């Protein structure tokens, strides 16, 4: 029987929306989702915090990331990934309804690059294949004596 709970949240009694509609309108029951409220509940249960405290911790974390990236800096969390600002150049485009050429202004966008640990957790087979394909490190060369 499917309770709608993921393996990590079941012992904690937490739930998050596992069903979401696909483009065709059919529901994909096997896709777990977690929103901000679910994340706050998970933090509160995992670290014995109140939901208000967990919410403040999450807000502080997100605010620090947004502020740093907004200033042009990068936030790196080893094993998870890095957040940075990406500059998109101005370009020419076409209005699809009229066919008229338009100028699209330059933009600064946030960019997330997942770390090796995160990639390995999501797709262990690909990580194992990449590790096997990586050549063994060469031993250090001995220093020449004079």
Model pLDDT for residues 52-71, shown as the tens digit of each residue: 999 999 999 999 999 999 99
Is 103 a domain residue? no
Query: Per the domain annotation, does 83 fall within a domain?
Result: no
Q: Which domain holds residue 37?
A: 1-71
Is 13 among the domain residues? yes
Tell me, yes or no, whether 65 lies in a domain: yes
Is residue 95 situated within a structural domain? no
What is the spatial distance between Cα 44 and Cα 32, in angstroms, rounded to a whole number? 20
Give the model's pLDDT for residue 67: 97
Q: Determine the pLDDT at residue 3.
A: 54
144 located within any domain = no
Number of domains comprising the chain: 1
Residues in the chain predicted with pLDDT less than 70, given as ranges, are 1-30, 135-146
Helix (H, G, I), strand (E, B) or coil at 83: strand
Q: From residue 49, give the alpha-carbon distance in Å to each of 11, 39, 56, 133.
A: 17, 13, 11, 44
Would you say residue 36 lies in a domain?
yes
């Amino acid at each position: 029987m499917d309770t709608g709970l993921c393996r990590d949240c079941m012992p904690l009694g937490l739930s998050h929306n596992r069903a979401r509609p696909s483009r065709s309108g059919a529901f994909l029951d096997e896709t777990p989702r977690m929103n901000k409220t679910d994340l706050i509940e998970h933090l509160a249960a995992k670290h014995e915090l109140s939901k208000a405290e967990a919410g403040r911790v999450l807000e502080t974390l997100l605010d620090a990331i947004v502020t740093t990236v907004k200033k042009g800096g990068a936030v790196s969390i080893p094993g998870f990934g890095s957040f940075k600002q990406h500059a998109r150049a101005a370009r020419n485009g076409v209005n699809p309804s009229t066919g008229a050429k338009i100028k699209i202004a330059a933009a600064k966008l946030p960019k997330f690059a997942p770390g090796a640990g995160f990639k390995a957790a999501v797709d262990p087979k690909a990580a194992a294949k990449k590790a096997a394909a990586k050549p063994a490190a060469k031993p250090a060369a001995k220093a020449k004596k004079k």
